Structure 1
Amino acid sequence: MNAETKTGKLIFEDKFERNESQELKDEVGNGWNTNSRSRANGHKQVDLKDGTMRIFIHETADHGVSVTQPMEFHNGRVEMKFKLEDPKDVLGLNFADLKYKKVWAGHLFRVNVGVKNVEITDLKTGVMDLETRTLRKAGTVSKELQEKLKTKVKRFPNKLETNRWYHVAAEVIDDTLTVFIDGEEVASFASEGIAHPTKRLLRLAVKRNVVVDDVQIYSLD
């Protein structure tokens, strides 16, 4: 296990120490957007409370909650504090480039952090490649492609407790994504899609509930 190194230029920071003007709809501020209007009939799914950002899926939602923040780097690091309140909760960090049109919705790669493991997936050269996605939806994926897709995701056992704050950092260096929790390396995966020239959007992807705080984004270029 290697200790996390603190380097880079800080390009975004949010401690969520502000109040909303109302409690009916998402009002995150500081450049954040959500998919609540399109996916949850406009119902509130993000709440600023006690200096934190609480993300929770509404019962009418037809998709997981996506809370987005623009950014731009080639090599960089995203870090934050987070808390999982239920064993089924998972924090997703999804890196995207909406200008890249050969994948669905700009998806490049993601990190999922749960109570049992950390999972890293190359989406650009995996399941979100448009041609691959079309084949999967049609149910015509060849065995060769199936085997290829298996190489685009890697899972690392790592146990976390519920209702406890942790610090996570996802660091991108060329084609390698390394994940640190509380300063200790817990996962590292090298794949072609991670080397995409420009990461332009961070999506916090949540299928149930997650609490986050102290978000920081660094450029390492």
Structure 2
Amino acid sequence: MTTNCELCGTELHSSTQRMLCEVCTASCGQQLAALPHLYRQLADELSPLGSNWPCGNGGHGTAVDAPMPLAEHPLVLRAGGGIVGVLEDWRAALHQDRGWAPPRLAPGVEPRVHAAVKALTANLPWIAERWPAAGEFAGEIRALYREVTSVVAPREYRGVRLGHCPAVYDGVLCGSVLWAAPGTAAVTCEWCSAEYPPRLWEWLRGVQAELEQAS
């Protein structure tokens, strides 16, 4: 029997039908296992961003007067509709498709993340072999993992950490972490795409220094 992996499209030659290849299954399992740890690391990105940004010229890093006490992107990922929302939606869909009662939710967001990861991981062999939604599930877990690691990935992967992005769009401060990858000529925010070429680096350092003093 020849089928294709629902995520990467690789041909599968097996006596039994599978939805995900072994590589995609293993990757999904590793990404699931990392999410509780990444959830906790996101707390380190919630440092106060201050409210009085100094004025500067050029680039996307404009000044803002409205206070933004927490970095918004990490806050959203840690809230009920972020990591835990994605995991619990898939856990609920799994229970429904297997004819099980709806899962009971643990008190507190972090315990719910752990519970959802544990349940999805325990069912990953069945998901990879039989669940028609396996490709969509694995793709969304991969996207979630990449989104979170864009904020908290280690230095050796992202480059040098350069503080928070001061870009403001529609009155909302980005606040995502800026990383200078080795060999790049400009720093680009992976969340809002604001660019900081070398001519703005001195201004960016000044903004962050005043922000640190004000916090």
TM range (shorter): under 0.3
TM-score by length of 2: 0.28
Point out the structure with max Rg over C-alpha: 2
Higher relative contact order, structure no. (Cα contacts within 8 Å, ≥ 6 residues apart) = 1
